[in-house]
Amino acid sequence: MSTNTELREMSDEQLDATVKEAAQTLFRLRFQSQSERLNTPSEMRKNRRLIARIKTIQREREIAAK
């Protein structure tokens, strides 16, 4: 996973792509958890937190731009 410093160094386009990828992964994990047993249930938490980190950074940049 990406650390906060790595995320902050990314451009806005890279952050958008990363959040979309994480959201797709989270969707697949949710679907898999309902249909069968997950090998690593902690992956869902990691993806949710990654999405939250990215959205926080995006919001900070939006506020700083004003």
Domain extent for 31: 4-65
CATH number of the domain to which 41 belongs: 1.10.287.310
Over residues 36-62, mean pLDDT: 94
pLDDT at 24: 97
Domain count, the chain: 1
Model's pTM, two decimal places? 0.89
Q: Are 32 and 38 in contact, with CB atoms under 8 Å apart?
A: yes
CA distances from 21 to 6, 14, 28, 46, 66 (A): 16, 11, 11, 13, 28
Task: Please tell me the distance from the alpha carbon of residue 13 to that of residue 38, in angstroms, as a whole number.
Answer: 31
Examine the pLDDT at 1 and tell me if it is beyond 80: no
Question: What pLDDT digit, counting tens, does each position of 24-46 carry?
Answer: 999 999 999 999 888 888 999 99
Examine the pLDDT at 17 and tell me if it is beyond 70: yes
